[in-house]
Amino acid sequence: MNIEGAKSIILTLLIMISAFLTWNIWTYQPKYDPISQSGDTYSVDIDKKGIDDVVKPNSVLFHKNGKHYQTFEEADIYNIQKELSGWTLYNFRDISSTVNSLKFKDFVHGNGNTEIIFRDIVPLDLFKKTLDIDEENLPSISFDRIVFKPADSPRREANVYFVSYEKQRVFEAKVNSSYIKKFNQAFYQKAADYPEYQEHGKRNVLYVSKDPSKMNQYKYSITRINTEKFKDALFSDPKYVVRHESVIQGDEYSDGLRLMLVNKESSMISFVNPAQKSKVFGSSSDLLKKSIDFINNHAGWEDNRYLFDGLNEEEQSVRFRLFVKGYPVFNDIGSINEIWGNADIYRYEHPSFFLEVPLPEDLSITLQSGEEVYQRLRNMRNIDMDAVQDLACGYMMMKDPTDSRLVSLEPKWYYRSGDDWIMVPDEDPGTRRR
């Protein structure tokens, strides 16, 4: 082969290679990650919860033979709520005007009554997924307790009352009396097996335990929440978010408008969207639903022990609280808080860690009885007993001073005044037993 022939072959090969590369460039389609069309948040792996997962009764109170018995136990609450979920309710009507305000408390706390008590008002149209409600046009009802009497009469129907205690509103519903008779046999007849409580108060009726309360003290290892995951969930476009580590309180993330602060001292993550500061008043139903949905969509249920604890329509705020073994953690480090603005979240607060593994602990604490604590509060000059709405045992969470990976849960007595739970000062810290 002469030189000219070799050149022709090489030139042909180069043309073919060039054509091949040009074709690949023209037809190349890179594989990008799908982009959310909503423009709200980036997608992250999350656990989602429904209304029945986070809205649960706080306690059940039985009034039997002139005495009062109450249970806060998780197993009891679960069994009673499961029993109610099988009831079919119908014919709702507002009977508030027929319940004399002077006799309202007798109507609610009357002998023979069972009270299923929630932590705050619950919109019925959201809770109807938990109950079997046979009613198309359900009235706007918010309640914080369900009240009924044992059905001992031969009537086919019995009454169930949905009560808003503070507003003194009562809605009556009908139910087949066989359901309440079954409840009577399973729970009410055994009411004396539960701890006995003493009634106190005039403006606010309190039921306090007659006997000392025993609670375990716990110590947990903790896991820090992935703040990058939170950032990606909360900011509409995380690539524009700048991190500033020089902030005194901790790490600060901002996109120029919204701000997320990981506070190392308080162990809380706070997110603020100033553009949403103005408030638009919304119903309790909408407020609670969008608050649960917000946590569902923003990686908020790292710990599944958070339950609905309260809402404030005027402030457009909702709180979810951490519960351990059925008892609430009352300090701020144990709550998720949301405040809503005109169209979106204005402020969001979430602990920066979640409880992981309980350490072996054989320490139980016997606290004073509710009766003793109530009398102690009455003797304190700076406490207005008319303003005390509740009295309960709960936990104070504290960081371990020797190990940042641990927290301890200390049993304490708390009283409620307004929306605040305040720890009862330790006069007698209780008897510790191993």
Judge whether residue 133 has pLDDT over 80: yes
In angstroms, how far is CA 134 from the centroid of its own chain? 27
CA distance 147 to 112: 10
As a whole number, mean pLDDT of residues 79-108 equals 91
Per residue in 148-205, pLDDT (tens digit) is: 987 666 788 999 999 999 899 999 999 999 999 999 999 999 999 999 999 998 778 9
Percent of the chain scoring above 70 in pLDDT: 85
As a whole number, mean pLDDT of residues 116-121 equals 94
Average pLDDT of every residue of the chain: 84
Per residue in 221-265, pLDDT (tens digit) is: 999 998 888 888 898 888 888 887 767 778 899 988 899 999 988
CA distance 175 to 331: 40
- What was the pLDDT predicted at 238? 83
Q: Strand pairing partners for 171?
A: 94, 162
CA neighbor of 77 nearest in space, from 119, 126, 107: 119
pTM score, whole prediction: 0.83
